[in-house]
Amino acid sequence: MSENVSIVTSVYAAFNQGDIETALGLLADDVVWHERDSVDAFIVGGTHYGPQGVLAGVFAKVPEYFQAFRVSVEQMHDAGDTVIAEARYVATTREGGDFDVAVAHVWTLRDGRVIGHASYPDTARYVAALEAVAA
């Protein structure tokens, strides 16, 4: 496993264990984190800057909507300074509904830190899953 894949794996592991401090510590001070925002259902949509922006705009919002949430990585692709992860968001909503949506993440790294992240979820399934539990 390359150093960059190992770093991304560590971010997922820390996040899934609720160790947000460790996950944020793997991000560069100038990280740019993109979450899909073209659909109103995207609760963490937009672009977030710096570790504190990721904390406030992404990580801190997850518990507002989900009682359990993890990213289940199915495969990683090492492309040097870029790592692509094929994964699933597997969660239980606050209302008790199941949430299971495919997602691709594109990570960019420099000097052992994450400088970029972009999330590409299956938008149709994402919206349908949230609408099903909201009904």
Count, in order, helices (H) and strands (E) of the chain.
Answer: 5, 6
- Mean confidence (pLDDT) of the chain: 90
Q: Are 126 and 110 in contact (CB under 8 A)?
A: no
CATH code at position 58: 3.10.450.50
Full-model pTM: 0.90
Q: How far is CA 91 from CA 28, 42, 63, 84, 131, in A?
A: 27, 15, 11, 21, 14
Residue 36's pLDDT is 80
Burial class (CB in 10 A: 0-12, 13-18, 19+), 14: middle
CA distance 16 to 70: 5
Taking the alpha carbons at both ends of the chain, their separation in whole angstroms is 43
Phi/psi at 123 (5° precision)? -60, -40
Instruction: Identify the domain containing residue 102 by its residue range.
Output: 3-134
Consecutive 10-residue averages of pLDDT for the chain (135 residues): 96 97 98 78 80 95 90 98 97 87 96 97 78 61
Q: What would the pLDDT profile of 50-81 be if each residue is shown by its tens digit?
A: 999 999 999 998 898 889 999 999 999 999 99
Count of structural domains within the chain: 1
Residue found under tokens 């963490």 = 44
